[in-house]
Amino acid sequence: MNAKKLKIVVTRKLPDPVETRMRELFDAELNEADAAMNAEALVAAMSRADVLVPTVTDRLDSRLLARAGERLKLIAQFGAGVDNIDVATAVQRGITITNTPGVLTEDTADMTMALILAVPRRIVEGVKIIEADQFTGWSPTWLLGRRVGGKRLGIIGMGRIGQAVARRAKAFGLQIHYHNRRRVSAAIEEELEATYWESLDQMLARMDIVSVNCPHTPATYHLLSARRLALLKPHAYIVNTARGEVIDESALARMLEKKELAGAGLDVFEHEPAINPKLKKLPNVVLLPHMGSATLEGRIDMGEKVIINIKTFADGHKPPDRVIPSML
Ligand code: 8YV
């Protein structure tokens, strides 16, 4: 395939340096207005493109993929998670899927750590008091949070991001515990002084803070179900920078409302951009608009990865970040 003539359709506005490079390399159709495409617009894009560059906001389910044109050969996702794409259907139709892992690990871990600190230390509540001009003077018993150091952090999903969170959390004096499909190497466990829990249920019952860092797959959908959330101690906090679907959001909101949990820091939601209205009313909850990996540097690196995947594919090689159904 000749990369120069390759028709690529990018569904959202990307940083300028990425778009400039895409224009140089490909016959690139960009989305200057950054308007999210609806299902019909996605089908039309998949019919006229050799390569589609979607993001988390584009739902490419089996119904839509069934209407992709013969021309579409590659879906080069701008993002690490691919839960918006029915990968099995795409692969069956001979479409290669790639993603952008690795380059957003540290930024996402930073944001996770920010929430691990913000919720128990009530940072947003403090900010709101200043904004409302309600700071009338210091008092020894006012706005008391909970100490972070010495607490047990249970990380669900010890991949790249989970490990990067563990490294930061360890520096803040947290004790690292984790649950993962597979136990990580002894060398990594030793570096992080991490305790492996084969049973998620048993881990949850013993943690002070839980951080969700696993991808959303059919196996992790509502992994934190109402039953599992009920295993947490009432003083426990939950942080999620992965995918909203991993937690039963209504069950979580109900428990937070009834004070069966101490608080939550959420950067992702089950029905984004909709958020359970109960969550917005609670003082012990910090909500962010899916900005875990939102740094300029990270977005440029993601774009660079997308370009490398497309170029390699166009040159007839296996793209470095190919996603295959057995990986999910
Ligand atoms: C991105 C993310 O902003 O990469 C991911 O999986 O969740 C986000 O950090 C988004 O996916 C871009 O498509």
Confidence of residue 145 (pLDDT cuts 50, 70, 90): very high
| CATH class held by domain 105-287 | alpha beta
Q: What is the pLDDT of residues 187-209, one digit of tens each?
A: 999 999 999 999 999 999 999 99
**pLDDT digit string (tens) for 295-316?**
999 999 999 999 999 999 999 9
* Ligand 1 site-directed mutation target among 104, 160, 243, most atoms within 8 Å of CB: 104
Kindly list the domain boundaries of the chain, sorted by start residue: 3-103+295-327, 105-287
Cβ-based neighbour number of residue 275 at 10 Å: 17
Active site residue 272: yes
Residue nearest atom 6 of ligand 1, based on CA coordinates: 81
Confidence label for 325 from pLDDT (cuts 50, 70 and 90): confident
Reported confidence tier of residue 5, pLDDT bands at 50, 70, 90: confident
Q: Are 276 and 248 in contact (CB under 8 A)?
A: no
Q: What is the pLDDT of residues 243-262, one digit of tens each?
A: 999 999 999 999 999 999 99
Among candidate residues 146, 290, 304, 322, the one labeled active-site is 290
Does the structural domain 3-103+295-327 have CATH classification 3.40.50.720? yes
pLDDT at site 328:
74
| Mean pLDDT (whole number) for 131-154 | 97
pLDDT at 2: 57
Taking the CA atoms of residue 61, residue 64, residue 66 and residue 68 in that order, the dihedral angle to the nearest 10 degrees is -120
290 is catalytic: yes
Mean pLDDT rounded to a whole number for the chain: 97
* Amino acid of residue 55: T
Tell me if 3-103+295-327 shares its fold with 105-287: yes
Structural element, H or E, at residue 27:
strand 27-29
Buried b (16+ CB within 10 A) or exposed e, 219-253: ebebbbeeebbebbeeebbbbbbbbbbbbbbebbb
pLDDT at 197: 98
Give the pLDDT mean for 117-139. Answer: 97
- % pLDDT > 70, the chain: 99
Residues with CB under 6 A from ligand 1: 55-56, 78-81, 104, 292-293
Please state the rounded mean pLDDT for residues 32-55.
96
pLDDT of res. 3: 52
Angstrom distance (rounded) from CA 17 to CA 174: 39
Mutate to test the pocket of ligand 1, among 290, 295, 305, 321 (most ligand atoms within 8 A of CB): 290
Atom of ligand 1 nearest to the CA of 292: 9
pLDDT score of 228 more than 70: yes
**Atom 11 (ligand 1): residue with closest C-alpha?**
79
How far apart CA 220 and CA 243 sit, in angstroms, is 10
State how far the Cα of 284 lies from the Cα of 261, in Å rounded to an integer.
9
Mean pLDDT, rounded, for 313-324? 96
Residue 254, Cβ neighbours under 10 Å: how many? 16
Residues 51-85 have pLDDT tens digits of 999 999 999 999 999 999 899 999 999 999 999 99
Q: How confident is the model at residue 242 (pLDDT cuts 50, 70, 90)?
A: very high
